[in-house]
Structure 1
Amino acid sequence: MRKPFTKAWIARLVSSLYLLAPFTVTAHSDNHYGHRSDGHAPIGVMADHFHNQGEWMLTLRTMNMSMKNEKTDFTVPVTASTPLEMETQMTMLGGMYGLSDSITLMMNLPYLDREMEMLMPGMMGGAASKVTTEASGFGDLKLGGAVRLRETETDRLHTTLMLSVPTGSIDETANMAMPGAMQNEMLLAPMMQLGSGTYDLISALTYVAFQLKTSVGAQWKNVVRVDENDRDYSLPNQNQATAWLAYNVDDSFSTSIRGQYFT
């Protein structure tokens, strides 16, 4: 049985490259804040805006996530596989299209590279050894749209509804054999798999308010697993709340700070 990470720290370094299609209308709305550099939320916030009819945009985002086991003293004999560190690099391809002034269609497809270092118990009471497992490939495809609920000169509100399609693998394996032992191909833990294996319903509500040089925003997101996957399990449902404060330096540059909470 694998032990979970305890009080793990998570660091996210997020960057983004926007690929704007030629001859398209800019992604901003006609309101004055649409042309401000803080017209979009911090790059880690997904589905933070919508488009007018006929506008479309492609995005390519990269994100690195690191988790590390807080426990460093393993002088006590190891009796079960214990995660030490986990690294995930995600490249997210996204697309948005304004079906109308009220509805924006969206899609996201991630490519994942995962690596985990584990401490495995020794054979016949021998010393524990470190094993590194890896998995890479496309994750779950997400399809849906955003519906504009409110938009004024100083604020906007919209809801997002998406379906996560289980295109990511849940059959990733790795050789977990100890030095000198026979080959032992084992199924990787759910957190190392590339997808959930289930159809998931994703809903979100996003609100942003603008002042002369600042803006504040908040988003609540919920993920519901519809059923168990082919391996008779489902990942936990998720709730996420995030809020941010941005300062508009000028029309081409802004700074922001963001916090988030997961359950």
Structure 2
Amino acid sequence: MPTMSAAPTLATEPLDEPVFVTAPERDTATRLRHAIADLRASLALWRLGTTLAWTDIKGRYRGSILGPFWVTASTAVMIAALGILYAALFGQSLTDYLPFLTLSLVLWGYLSTVTTEACSCFSGAESAIRARRTPFLLLVGRIVLRNVIVLGHNVLVVVVVFALFGVHPGLTALWCLPGLVLWLLDSIAITVLLGTLGARFRDIPPIVGSLLQIAFFISPVIWKPELIPHAKTWMRFNPFYSLLDVIREPLLDHAVPPVVWGLACVYSALLCLGAAALFLRVRCRLAYWV
């Protein structure tokens, strides 16, 4: 008489996938330990984050001929139109003004896009968060990385304009490298901060959009601080001024004053501390808010 085979047993080996606790965390040590576990898991999945960022860009421009270079083309057209107009309005030499405007608009485009998309970092990934235990910081890296890729496309406009107008920054341009590192940290911090607030309060995206419009006009993006008397004094209270200058001025072969570097570091430290404190406090609740 044939015997029945034994029923298959479930594997008892532990899963390699880290477990992300979403239970209430009452002490700071537990919150910090879980946040570090989230960070480690996100770094371990860096290939997935890179793939997601590329997929976002491909999906956004699927079926188009130029793909992400449409952003580059539109940026170039806008710079050409605004450069000629505002150079005449401000009484500036086109040779001196257009490289400044090009660099300013490309950098501001990155800042504004990261800040806008940060508001929906977690709420926009609702399905991914609820489907499986996804590290929250992996979603942050996805947004930052895809905007860095788009920034790389727009840098081509800066290179072309600099070549046409004979702007050749020397060794001073190397000072933009610390500024880029600072920008990367700020991008992660603002995405964590606004993504967390946006998951809890759905009014955050329109508020941030309105504030960015105001910040664009009161920040030296399309106008130079030299055009307004004592502008550099009161502009120190504008975080965008110092953050733009730590990258823009070295690339224009200008030295960055130490006070501007100090203000940029102070604003970045406050932003990072605020984002870290909020993330530690409410990380376990994000899965329920989305």
Q: Quickly name the TM-score band, shorter chain normalised.
A: under 0.3
Which structure is richer in relative contact order (CA contacts within 8 A, separation 6 or more)? Answer: 2
**Which structure has more helix as a fraction of its residues?**
2
